């Protein structure tokens, strides 16, 4: 019986860690607003499929998917389609990542594929 309780506890701990792990989702205004209203860590990755830097960043981010050491939500913004959002936020280039804690901008990085720099940007919203 103790063994079963231990397994349940481990499963619960794993579930709790995943709840605070990096979650990667497509951008939607509703999702951004919801995360910001809840005062959560949320980042926008302005991504273009044709951009090699964006693909390199994507590979780094996907390596952290579900990693509780990098908490928050990463919303993937289609750089080519979201012109109004780019204008509103002053985004001039694809491969830009903007990190928020709630509605407050905490970090902005563009054109960088260094995992340490990207991690530091995401962790700025802690």
Identify which has the larger pLDDT, 4 or 117: 117
Q: Over range 44-67, report the average pLDDT.
A: 97
What does the block give as tokens for 71? 């908490």
Query: Domain spanning 2-123 has what CATH number?
Result: 3.40.30.10
Identify which has the larger pLDDT, 53 or 68: 53
pLDDT of residue 20: 72
Domains of the chain, residue spans: 2-123
pLDDT of residue 2: 53
Q: pLDDT digits over 2-29, tens only?
A: 544 443 344 444 434 445 789 999 999 9
Separation between Cα atoms, residue 4 and residue 6, nearest integer Å: 5
Residue 46: count of CB within 10 angstroms of its CB: 27
41 backbone dihedrals φ, ψ, rounded to 5°: -75, 125
Contact by Cβ (8 Å): 32, 98: no
Residue 105: count of CB within 10 angstroms of its CB: 13
Q: Over range 46-56, report the average pLDDT.
A: 98
Residue 91's closest CA among 31, 30, 40, 43? 43
């Amino acid at each position: 019986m103790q063994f079963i309780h231990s397994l349940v506890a481990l499963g619960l701990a794993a579930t709790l860690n995943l709840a605070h792990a990096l979650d990667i989702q497509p951008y939607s205004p509703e999702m951004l607003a919801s995360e910001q209203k809840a005062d959560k860590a949320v980042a926008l990755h302005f991504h273009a499929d044709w951009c090699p830097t964006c693909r390199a960043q994507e590979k780094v981010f996907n390596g952290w998917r579900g990693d509780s050491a990098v908490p928050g939500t990463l919303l993937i913004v289609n750089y080519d389609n979201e012109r109004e959002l780019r204008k509103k936020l002053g985004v001039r280039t694809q491969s830009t990542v903007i990190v928020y804690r709630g509605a407050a901008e905490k970090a902005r990085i563009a054109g960088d594929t260094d995992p340490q720099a990207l991690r530091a940007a995401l962790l700025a919203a802690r």
